Amino acid sequence: MSLSLSDERKPAVIPEVPQGAEVITLGAGCFWCTEAVFERISGVLAVTSGYMGGHVEKPTYEQICDGTPATPR
């Protein structure tokens, strides 16, 4: 799958949770590597990576790297 720069900046699509399924939210340093591990686990229906916390709504990768979302208001 090839992503364009505009695709990378779109908000993550949160999958619908089938009735009877459970949801878990985890925090990790390098979520791309963590995502690959969870995708291989039997019974995992979907894995969605993203950022949590901070004060910037829908931060870009560049903002995360320079600490912008974590900077106090």
For residues 57 and 59, give the distance between their C-alpha atoms in angstroms, rounded to a whole number.
Answer: 6
Residue 13 CB coordination number (10 Å): 8
- In 3D space, the residue among 57, 52, 7 whose CA is nearest the CA of residue 26 turns out to be 52
Q: List the catalytic residue out of 13, 23, 30, 52.
A: 30
Residue 33 designated active-site: no
Catalytic sites, residue numbers? 30
